[in-house]
């Protein structure tokens, strides 16, 4: 099938190469010429495992990129993978999606056959049906259900394992209010599910339900981590290792072992934004989302917990503190809502200096958070050399191998926010929840 994808960031690029790999011809449309040039040159515009080799295999060939929306007319279906950031009150800002909808509609005005458009961006139910679809139809001068067929197709990939998640998903969710939208979306995923290394359930539902499945899934996972974080803090107060507790809890099928790693909390482009959007959506309809409010609050408290533990061992005022990890999770250069921000700011507010190390995320951190002050180190050893304390924020594998590097610290105090460092003699080690 000929597929166009508008927006070529973490989702748009990953989905595009994976669909090309499944045999489709894919065109990415993006306003960023650097992104477009990279893809056409066979280079991945973002850091993501396995993405480089796939983009170099298909980029400029079965996968093309362009800044021109007209390219969508040569395709059967368009996926919209545009950012949906938060407004100040946590609700979704759909303005980028709306601008793209207008450009898409203008382009589709020149297309003769019916076109299917599926929104992959995460948006609250109603936005697609009441705002995006009518705007596309108006610009295209077409009728919904006749010339323009709308669907939603939420994406569940995780950064750091995006390619594998897309190729071997736990489920595919297709939201469609017309049979043409449903049939074409099913055809998009047929070769993907055939290639997968296990049976993949394909859930077909309405456009609104599909989007709520996405929000509810993220809210559930964020809640699971916040709950284990709160249980973990209580465990530590009683001298109990929360990881031992979580391991045994996870053996209960009803609980499940995944997303039970307690620590400095969740970040990223999705859990914070999507939880806030659901809270705002609830309030908008007069519902007081007490559980989700608490989920958010527990997450906000974890970095503070880490700083309090550090202050139990050193005077942060005037100290040099090594921060290990800036990415919101390992395997990505993405620092959106990384816990490193409140951690570094907390050290600075207490009068300390920060020397930070991350294998890939320093540039992203500098661009996104120019006011967050830290000195970048070239290696973990350089960050630790002469430091009065260390805070582990991201569970990069390379941190697990650190050992004698801690001996070069002025005072070898490590507060581990991700349970990645080995305890040993000569190291003052504190786990956040163990």
Residues at the contact surface with ligand NAD, assessed by CB under 6 A: 6-12, 29-32, 35, 81-84, 96, 99-100, 120-122, 155, 157, 159, 269-270
CB of 393 to ligand UPG, least distance (A): 9
Interaction of residue 156 with ligand UPG, rule CB under 6 A? yes
Smallest gap from Cβ 367 to ligand UPG, in A, equals: 19
- CB of 374 or CB of 396, closer to ligand UPG: 396
Q: Cα separation of 314 and 411, whole Å?
A: 8
Binding status of residue 7 toward ligand UPG by CB under 6 A: no
- C-alpha dist (Å) from residue 114 to 78, 97, 145, 184, 299: 12, 21, 9, 11, 46
To ligand UPG, the closest distance from the beta carbon of 332 in angstroms equals 7
- The least distance separating ligand NAD from the CB of residue 277, rounded to whole angstroms, comes to 9
Candidates 77, 213, 260, 391: give the one binding ligand UPG (CB under 6 A): 260
| Best CA proximity match to 327, nearest among 258, 387, 267, 271 | 267
- For ligand UPG, which residue has the nearest CB? 270
Segment lying near ligand UPG (by CB under 6 A), choices 18-26, 61-69, 151-159, 378-386: 151-159
Report if residue 270 touches ligand UPG, rule: CB under 6 A. Answer: yes
Q: Is 329 annotated as a binding residue?
A: yes
**Nearer to ligand UPG among residue 185 and residue 213 (C-beta):** 213
Contact partner at residue 84 from ligand UPG, ligand NAD, none, CB < 5 to 8 Å by partner kind: ligand NAD
CA distances 68 to 5, 39, 107, 229, Å, are 12, 15, 9, 46
Largest separation between any pair of C-alpha atoms in the chain: 73
Question: Does 218 engage in binding with ligand UPG (CB under 6 A)?
Answer: yes
155 touches ligand UPG (CB under 6 A): yes
- In the list ligand NAD, ligand UPG, none, the entry touching 26 (Cβ below 5 to 8 angstroms by class) is none
Residues near 425 by beta carbon (within 8 Å), at least 6 away in sequence? none
Query: Which among 350, 27, 21, 67 is positioned nearest to 196, based on CA atoms?
Result: 21
Interaction of residue 345 with ligand UPG, rule CB under 6 A? no
Instruction: Report residue 118: phi and psi, to 5°.
Output: -120, 130
Q: Report whether 423 contacts 415 (CB < 8 A).
A: no
Active site residue 270: yes
Q: Which does 266 bind (CB under 5 to 8 A by kind): ligand NAD, ligand UPG, none?
A: ligand UPG
CB burial string 98-127: b at 16+ within 10 A, e below: bebbbbbbebbeebeebbbbbbbbbbbbeb
User: In which residue are the tokens 């306003």 written?
Assistant: 31
Candidates 429, 66, 71; CA nearest to 241 is 429
| Minimum separation from the CB atom of position 244 to ligand NAD (A) | 31
Closest distance between ligand NAD and the C-beta of residue 348, in Å? 27
Does the annotation place 156 within a ligand binding site? Answer: yes
Instruction: Find the distance separating the first CA and the last CA of the chain, reported in whole Å.
Output: 51
Residue numbering of the annotated binding site for substrate: 156-159, 214, 259-263, 267, 329
- Please identify every residue annotated as catalytic: 270
Binding footprint of ligand UPG on the chain (CB under 6 A): 122, 155-159, 218, 221, 225, 259-261, 263, 266-268, 270-271, 274, 328-329
């Amino acid at each position: 099938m000929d597929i166009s994808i508008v927006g070529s960031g973490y989702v748009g690029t990953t989905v595009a190469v994976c669909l090309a790999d499944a045999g489709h011809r894919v065109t990415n449309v993006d306003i960023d010429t650097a992104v477009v040039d990279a893809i056409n040159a066979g280079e991945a515009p973002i850091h993501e495992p396995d993405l480089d080799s796939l983009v170099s295999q298909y980029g400029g060939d079965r996968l093309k990129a362009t800044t021109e929306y007209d390219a969508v007319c040569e395709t059967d279906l368009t996926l919209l993978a545009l950012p949906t950031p938060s407004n100040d009150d946590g609700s979704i800002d759909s303005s980028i999606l709306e601008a793209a909808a207008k450009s898409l509609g203008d382009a589709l005005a020149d297309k003769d056959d019916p076109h299917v458009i599926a929104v992959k961006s995460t948006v609250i139910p109603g936005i697609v049906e009441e705002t995006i679809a009518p705007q596309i139809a108006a610009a295209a001068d077409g009728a919904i259900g006749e010339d323009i067929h709308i669907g939603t197709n939420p994406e569940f990939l995780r950064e750091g394992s995006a390619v594998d998640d897309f190729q071997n998903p736990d489920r595919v969710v297709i939201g469609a209010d017309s049979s043409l939208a449903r049939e074409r979306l099913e055809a998009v995923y047929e070769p993907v599910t055939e290639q997968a290394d296990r049976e993949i359930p394909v859930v077909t539902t309405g456009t609104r339900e599909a989007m709520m499945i996405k929000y509810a899934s993220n809210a559930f996972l964020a809640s699971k981590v916040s709950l284990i974080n709160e249980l973990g803090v209580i465990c530590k107060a009683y001298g109990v290792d929360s990881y031992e507790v979580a391991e045994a809890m996870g053996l209960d099928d009803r609980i499940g072992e995944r997303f039970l790693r307690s620590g400095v909390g969740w970040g990223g482009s999705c859990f914070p934004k999507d939880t806030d959007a659901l809270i705002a959506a609830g309030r908008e309809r007069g519902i007081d989302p007490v559980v989700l409010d608490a989920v958010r609050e527990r997450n906000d408290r974890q970095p503070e917990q880490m700083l309090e533990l550090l202050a139990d061992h050193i005077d942060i005022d005037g100290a040099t503190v090594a921060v290990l990890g800036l990415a919101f999770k390992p395997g990505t250069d993405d620092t959106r809502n990384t816990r490193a921000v409140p951690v570094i700011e907390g050290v600075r507010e207490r009068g300390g200096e920060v020397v930070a190390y991350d294998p890939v995320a320093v540039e992203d951190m500098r661009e996104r958070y120019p006011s967050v002050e830290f000195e970048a180190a070239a290696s973990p050893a350089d960050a630790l050399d002469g430091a009065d304390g260390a805070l582990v924020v991201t569970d990069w594998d390379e941190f697990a191998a650190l050992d004698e590097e801690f001996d070069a610290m002025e005072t070898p105090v490590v507060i581990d926010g991700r349970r990645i460092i080995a305890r040993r003699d000569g190291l003052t080690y504190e786990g956040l929840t163990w």
